[in-house]
Structure 1
């Protein structure tokens, strides 16, 4: 087995696809609720229902694209051509989502439904190949981990760019008109995303494969790779629960520092602290080589719980230092988790082939996109509904019940989710059989 199969130019080009994704979807996850409620005037309850309906649709679109990828058979490969086909539609619809026209309230709601749901479908189509292509880039598990870390660092570049610069750019370009500012800001981010996806199409290569990996795979055959694949079910749950926590906290950050703390000037700082993920991201290959992927992720979840509790202490004492310090600790824990979520999903592709002889990389890695989007949708809907039911009013002094809902979203729900993730990880056993699994698969592929 070659130690290095993917040159650095290709590693970077591949990893920048997550920069592209985050330049668009981090704006959606962080600011779309705020854009709808405070810039356009749509009620939080209506937005919550929209987020939930969109995620129900995602229950079908992620597996659908996974099946399409397994059936795709082009001279460019299975996953790579989707970067070319969907880069432009994804970028255009992203801009349209943040361009709600000045029409009747009902018309605005309909427009929001159409554009947001379509954006979610296109996101599944262009983001799923980012994960499904990884097993075709390299057959070396340690190199996959390194590539995955580089990918997550590039993802964080996109995230930090969005969380740090979005509001200043909105204010600068909007000149007091936030709706216009968000539209122009998204034009910038979506244009960059388009270029990065096209670059990934041009620079990447699907080099790993056999007859099993290259042929068009019927859906009935693909399903066999799921049966008895317990690591896949656990990773599906972990992707879901992690992103419920992530979106509920991230989506509430603007509300928390605006209405609970009274320091909206701290929003860019709080968002930028996510950059500390890079510290632990670069340590992921070191830890996984010595203690395994499951144990590394366990450490990340536990550190995140500790960080949330530190933030609770800061919240109780109105101590900005503890709040921001706790955010740093959460970010450090999150680096271990985010750096492994999709890598461990890729491992379940190998596990499914090992157990059943069927390699359904599109269908199985669809769980990553599905988990992310469904978690984001459920988290987004829950946080919006909690705000609505608590009596939240945009731009007004908030009631005690509204402030309590903001606290729940920002501090306590993430703690609950991380605890559930720790419990699920106790049942993950793939690390123990990985060496034997890879040796057996390599022997099969040589035949």
Structure 2
């Protein structure tokens, strides 16, 4: 047997499931990227509104307007970073360098957004606009590469699910940790007050330093191993947008990402309001938010579930559970029954645990679909809309929350009227339910699972041919 025959026998011995496997050290390092993002941005998404209204002294209406204006920047910055990634070619790859270049600026703005300089009301608004839009834009710079690098880490569909599951596990852990301990840490550094300016600043500074260290580890230990003809050359902007032509899986997932995060944002950012004013026990909000750890059970089960019933059906089941959780939450809220609220929250988090991790996987599939359908592989532009749509949804969630609180008469740090309490409940229960239900309906039109094997087989042949021509 000659050397070529021996090589061919070795290739035949490798099953499709073994191809492009990622070592465990790299799997864990990749998952830390979402841990770092959630550690910082979940703190912003969950607590920034109540920080602005109850600590910095900005009205809910003004905060809602800020969140709305910031969305115009999202319309540009997401695709901008995606195009930049598609035009980046370094010895480190296309996506990895962005963690090296932008983690420190991102962390700096994470601190600035929770800093309270002594300014007039107009000055406070200007400061809030500059720091919030700055952290929003820089978040895209470090977050979009997390999704854009996934197709380059492995071409194995099941390995992508595994990677995304581990990433989601760590991301959820980061979110649960930061939302569960933030108020306690702010009070610790702020002499017992959860509205302390000093407490918010010191805690944000600590989180920012941790984020920089984590991204350094992610950069060092990841590897862009899947190389194609497209990934080795710059793609003209006009050409990269061709990957979106008739890419219905991409369009569906982007819409779901928007409406899902709109619902998630409205719920998370009024959780503190709900327990502070409706339940008269703000400390309960930290416990409820920490229940996100429950979703880790669903995250761990996601690879097994998606292998047996498909990614679409797994996500659909998660959306249904999330809807059931919100309906149970309405029952608990109407009776102010803490055990029912806890049970409802657990059911809801089990549902969202199945959803969040699969969004990135389905976007990676959309990259493949765009190449399969249109002959253009543009990881950056295809996945960049994930950050754009999520932040757009979160922004509109902020707008809706601010508008409802203002219209129903919310006044910071005062006993609320029945109308204001109803407005808080509307944000906490019914807006999220609408987002989850509409996401579930949209999934009924997603059919990539049916053609995935043929798509991957055709692309494997295409890549082998292209690589042989190099």
Q: Shorter chain as normaliser: what TM range? A: over 0.9
Kindly provide the CA deviation profile for residues 231-272 of structure 1, in whole angstroms up to 9, marking residues without a partner as x: 110001000011000000000000000101112121111011
Alignment: residue pair count: 447
Structure number, greater radius of gyration: 2
Deviating 4+ runs (over 4 angstroms): none
**1:169 aligned onto 2:155:** no
2:220 to 175, 181, 202: 202
Q: 1:153 touches 1:281 (CA, 8 Å); kept in 2?
A: yes
What does residue 292 of structure 1 align with? 310
CA distance in 2, matches of 1:4, 1:349: 17
CA contact (8 A) 1:23 1:190 kept: no
Query: How far apart, in 2, do the equivalents of 1:229 and 1:65 lie?
Result: 20
State yes or no: 1:76 paired with 2:92.
yes
Does structure 1 conserve the Cα–Cα contact (< 8 Å) formed by 2:49 and 2:63?
A: yes
1:315 is the counterpart of 2:333:
yes
The counterpart of 1:346, out of the listed 354, 360, 364, is 364
Q: Is the deviation greater in 295-304 or in 170-179?
A: 170-179
TM-score by length of 1: 0.99
1:321-378 per-position Cα deviation (integer Å, ceiling 9, x unaligned)? 1011000000000111112111111110000000011001000001211111111111
What are the within-5 Å matches in structure 2 for residues 15-414 of structure 1? 15-175=31-191, 176=193, 178-414=196-432
Deviation at 1:284, TM superposition (A): 0.6
Secondary structure of the structure 2 residue equivalent to 1:212: coil
The alpha-carbon deviation at position 5 of structure 1 amounts to: 2.3
Q: CA deviation at 1:121?
A: 0.4
**Alpha-carbon separation, structure 1, partners of 2:454 and 2:301:** 25
Q: Distance in 2 between matches of 1:213 and 1:228?
A: 21
How far apart are the structure 2 equivalents of 1:318 and 1:119?
37
2:9 corresponds in structure 1 to: none
Structure 1: unaligned runs, 5 residues or longer: none
Residue deviations 1:142-179, cap 9 Å, x none? 00100100000110121011111101000010113611
CA distance in 2, matches of 1:121, 1:318: 39
Could you tell me how far apart the structure 2 residues matched to 1:288 and 1:214 are? 32
Q: What is the root-mean-square deviation of aligned Cα atoms in Å?
A: 0.9
Contact 2:26 2:222 in 1 (8 A): yes
Contact 1:100 1:112 in 2 (8 A): no
Consecutive unaligned residues of structure 2, counting only runs of 5 or more, are: 1-15, 466-470
What is the match of residue 439 of structure 2?
421
* Residue 11 (1) aligns with residue 27 (2): yes
CA distance in 2, matches of 1:143, 1:288: 12
Once the 2 structures are TM-superposed, how far is the Cα of residue 4 of structure 1 from its aligned partner? 4.9
Contact 1:148 1:343 in 2 (8 A): yes
Contact preservation (8 Å) 2:20, 2:155: no
Question: Contact 1:249–1:409 (CA<8 Å) still a contact in 2?
Answer: yes
Aligned counterparts of 2:119 and 2:331: Cα–Cα separation in 1: 45
